Structures are given as C-alpha cells and as structure tokens.
Structure 1
Amino acid sequence: MTQQQEKMSAFMDGETESSEIMDAILQDEALQVKWKRYHVIRSGLRKEATVAPQIDITAAVAAALEDEPVVVAPKTSRWRKLPVVGNVVPFAKQGGQFAVAASVAVAVILGVQQMNKPEPAEPFSTFETRTQLGGLAPVSLEQTRTLPRNDMNIMLEKKRKINAIIADHEQQVQLKQAEEQSRSVDESVESNVNSN
C-alpha cells in the first residue's frame, strides 16, 4: 500500500483528521476511485446497502475481445486422413443408431404386451393341503386381503360386537369378585359372632 492509501484508510477509519489527504483525493482521480471502492467495501462489511458499486467492465471486455485471434476455418476431422477408418466410423455410427432404434422398439412391444395381458382373478394362486383331521385347507401366499366397502361395514360391526362381549365379560368378572369379597366378609363376620 502506498503512503497515500494508508492515510486515506486511516482517515476513513477516523484515526486521523488530516485535511491534506482530502486535498490529495480531490486532485488525484486514482485516489477518488479508491475512495469510492473503500466506501463500497465498508458498506458491504457493515451490511449497509446504501452505496451501490458502479462497476463498468464493458471497456475491459471489449479490449480483451479485440486481442483474441479470429478463427475462420473449421477444424478438419482426423478420421478423414485415414482412408479405411474414415469409411468405418460412419458405418459404426449408423449401426449404433439401428441398435438404439431396435431397443426402443422391443421395449414398446413388451410394454404393450404387458399392458394388454389379462389380470388374474386372484393375486396369488392357492393350494390345498390336508389338515391333521384329514380335511382340506387352502394355503396362499397372500398376506393381507383387501375387503370391499360393504365387507368393511360387516367387519366393523363384528368388531363392535366382540368389544361389547369383552366389556360385558369384564363387568361380570368384577361383579363376581365383588360378590366373593362380600361373601368372605359375611363369613368372617358370622365366624366372629359365633365365636363370641
């Protein structure tokens, strides 16, 4: 950093109050540009969006484009130099295109065949096996069975009945326990009365 840039940075930070740096900034265009740039950097670091950077890079891009060499002729293919290989490469490209087209055609045919295939009546086949008693029982790979809506209503009604029966049973057990406790209390009272 030059001495003027250090003085300008110190002046911006409030470390010096020299008026000579202000005179130098007003007279030198390079210092004016740096002054603006320092303020943009300071605003960015403080997360203040009050100073928007005005960067004009069009002149630099235009100068760089003028320095670029101009390419007029297209590159020649290195395959054209070899007589045998030059004929093989287009044939290989064409063969690859036929292979891709054949693969797509096979995929479409198989897809159409799968879509038009009739659905089986049951999702899994069932086999019958003999039980211990000699009767036949169905065996299936199916783990869950989907029920139509009307079967669901029937199933829910059965579950409600089962829950009501379980609740009734629990009440009867509690009632029976209460009766047994009251009977044992009555017997203990009678035995105390009889012993006295």
Structure 2
Amino acid sequence: MQIESKEQLSLLMDGEFTDKNVLNDVLNDESLQSCWHRYHVVRGVMRGELHNSSLTLDISKQVAQAIANEDIYQPLTDEQPKPNEVVMPKVNTLFWVRVKDVIGKISQVGLAACVTLAIIAGVQYHQDQTKNDNGVPTLNTVPVGVNIAPVGGITQQNDQQLLEKKQYDKIRLLVQDYELQKRLNAH
C-alpha cells in the first residue's frame, strides 16, 4: 500500500494523476507528507531552483528513536569481575614478576657485552694478520702521501724528500691557480 501511495504521490506531483483520495491520504499520513516534501526538494535541486537556505533536514526524531532503541548496557558474563569485587595480586607473583624483569635486563646487558668483546677480539686478530702480510696496520689514520715529523722535531732531509716537497708545492700552486681562474671566469 505504501509503495502504491508513493507512486500515486509522484504522479500527482508531475500533474498526471488527479485523485482526491490521494490528497486526503497525504493530509492524514505523516510519512506521505515527509515523502511529498522530499520529492519537492529533489525536484527543486534537479531544476536548480533550491537555495542552500531552504534545504533543512530534520532528523531529530530518527536520532532520538535510535538512541532509545540502542542497548547500552551489556549483561555481565561469568568471566567479567563483579564491580564490588576487588582482587589483590599475591605477593608471591609480584616478586617473580620483578625477578623476571631484572633477569631480562641483565641478559640484555650481557648480550651487549659479548657482542662488544667479539668485535674487539675480531679487530685485533685482523690487525695482527694484516701486520704480518704487509706491515701496514688495518686502521691506518695517516693519509697516504703525507710525511710525519718524528717526535722531538728531528727531521731528516734527503734528496727524495726535497723532490716530493717541490712536487707537492707545484701541485698546490696549480690547484690554487685553477680555483682562481674558475672564480674569475664565473662572473
């Protein structure tokens, strides 16, 4: 009956159906009145005649009804504790929880110490192996091509060192000249 009434309402709105009984049904039935209102809103939107200020939706009745029908409180099961019951943990279990935490932290520190020891031993072993091979330590911090002055300021000048110093100075001057030319040509 409701679907048939809505179809007749749509026909009446389009001007194709003129039955006075439908008008009486709309006047007496609140759901048909809201349907009539919705149909007019949809038609106005489709034709571009409806302004934003005239479009108001009243859903307060539906929200109030949904809240009233909603079951907020779930019944308590046997697994859930009663609100009046408070269970105190046993001292014995608290002690073992603390012991477990301490043992866990100690084992983490022990593992870190073992890994550190293994790394140090591995580096030392590797250094000993490379010293035997070529006489240069693995972790050589002196850059290649740089001469280190002996402790106490004692220097040994020989022809080879003088030649290397002259070559180093010549390369340094060429690099400085290159940088100067690059700056001058950049502007």
TM-score over 0.5 for the pair:
no
TM-score, normalized by length of structure 2? Answer: 0.38
Q: Name the TM-score, length of structure 1 as normaliser.
A: 0.37
- Higher-strand-fraction structure: 1
